[in-house]
Amino acid sequence: MRTAFAGPWLIGGTAALGLALDAAGCFASAPGGPTGAPGARVVLRVAAAASVGPALEDLARAFEKDRPETEVRVTAGATGNLAAQAREGAPFDMFFAADTESVDLLARDNLIRADGGPFLYARGRLALAARLDSPVDVAALGAAALDAPGFSRLAIANPRHAPYGRAAVEALTALGLWERYRDRLVMGENAAQTAQFLDAGAADAALTARSAFFSPSGPARARLWTVPEQWHAPLPHAGATLARCAAPDRARAFVDFLRGPAGAAALARHGLDPSP
C-alpha cells in the first residue's frame, strides 16, 4: 500500500506524491492481464478525507494481507478538494468523505457507480485539543478551556471545504465564542494539517477531528475533550465507488471489509465511530 497527500492536482500547495503514476483507475499489473482478471494484481486508488486517512491506511494493510492480489493506495486531503478533483477526472476509484453532501453531489452527476453507493461508513466527532505541555487541561475543563487566558490562537480546518471546519464554526457560534476567535484563527487545509499546526506550536489549541490526534501505535499526541454533538451538526461520513473504477468487485470487497469487524476495530483505534 502506498499513501499520498495529493495527486497531480494540488491540495493546500502540496505537489504530487504518487498519483502521477498510472493515470488509469483500477489496473492489473500482471502482464497482459485484463483489469480485474483472476490472478491479476489490482490497485484500488482511494481518496480519503484527512480525518479518516490513517484509519483507512490501517485497514488497507489488513485488507492487503487478506487479499494479496489487491493493493490499496490512499490519498488523503480535504473532503471538498478531493470531491472537486474526482469531478475533474482525478484517478480515484473510491471516495471516502467526512460528510454526506460531497458524495451525494457526485451521485447526482452520475459520477459514482449505481451499485457503488453512496453508503455510510463512519461517524466523526469534533474535539478540542491542547498539547500535553499546555497549562490548560482541556480534558478537565471542557468548553470552559476556550475562556482560559492561555488560549489565544485557535486552529481549525478551513470551513470552505472541510466538514470539521464547518463543525468548528458551528460549535464556536453555539458557545458564543465566534467573535472572540474569528480574527485569531489558524486555518489548516484539512483536519490533519490543523493538528500539525497545534503540534508545531502555531496555535494554542485546535478544534477539529478527534481522529486527527489518535496515535494507535504511540503515546497520546494531545489532551482531548470531545465536543457534544448538540453544539454542531452531526458528522456522518459517506463513501462511494466512482464510475471510473474498472474493478468494482475489489471495491465491493474493500467496503465489506470496512463494514466488518476489522473495519470497526480500525475506526475505533483512530477515534472514529463505526456507522450504525
Whether the CB-CB separation of 193 and 50 falls below 8 Å is answered with yes
Same domain, 141 and 82: no
Mean pLDDT of all residues in 226-248: 95
Instruction: Give the residue ranges of DSSP H helices in the chain.
Output: 53-66, 79-87, 101-108, 138-141, 163-174, 178-181, 191-199, 248-259, 261-269
Supply the angle between the helices 79-87 and 101-108 in degrees, to the nearest 10.
10
Residues 118 and 134 in one domain: no
Closest Cα partner for 28 from 37, 17, 16?
A: 37
- Do 61 and 49 sit in the same domain of this protein? yes
Same-domain pairing of 54 and 186: no
Give the pLDDT band (50/70/90) at residue 150. Answer: confident
- CATH code, domain carrying 193: 3.40.190.10
Does the pLDDT of residue 32 top 60, yes or no?
no
Question: CA dihedral defined by 207, 155, 177, 131, rounded to 10 degrees?
Answer: 60
Cα–Cα distance, 20 to 13 (Å, whole number): 16
CB 195 within 8 A of CB 221: yes
Return all residues near 172 (Cβ < 8 A) that are at least 6 apart. 146, 178, 181, 207
Q: How many CB atoms lie within 10 A of CB 183?
A: 6
Residues 63 and 40 in one domain: yes
pLDDT in tens, 63-109: 999 999 999 999 999 999 999 999 999 999 999 999 999 999 999 99
**Same structural domain, 13 and 78:** yes
- Residues 152, 130 share a domain: yes
Crossing angle of the two packed helices 248-259 and 53-66, in degrees rounded to 10 = 110
Q: Do residues 244 and 181 touch, judged by C-beta distance below 8 A?
A: no
Residue that finishes a domain, picked among 187, 208, 226: 226
3-state secondary structure of 209: strand
- Of the chain, the percentage scoring pLDDT greater than 90 comes to 78
Regarding whether 243 and 112 lie in a shared domain, the answer is: yes
pLDDT at 12 > cutoff 80: no
DSSP string, 80-128: HHHHHHHHTT-S-SEEE-SSSHHHHHHHHTT-B-TTS--EEEEEE-EEE
Q: Is 149 a residue whose pLDDT tops 80? A: yes
Are residue 109 and residue 78 in the same domain, yes or no?
yes
My answer on whether 75 and 197 are in the same domain is no
Give Cβ neighbours of residue 275 (< 8 Å, ≥ 6 apart).
120, 121, 122, 123, 236, 237
Q: Which among 237, 259, 216 has a CA at the least distance from the CA of 251?
A: 259
pTM of the model: 0.84
Are 63 and 140 contained in the same domain?
no
- pLDDT above 70: residue 24: no
- Residues 175, 201: one domain? yes
Average pLDDT over residues 48-69: 94
d(CA 31, CA 275): 39
Of 14-18, 143-147, 206-210, minimum mean pLDDT range: 14-18
How many independent structural domains does the chain possess? 2
Domain that holds residue 96: 3-123+235-274
pLDDT bin (cut points 50, 70, 90) of residue 38 is low
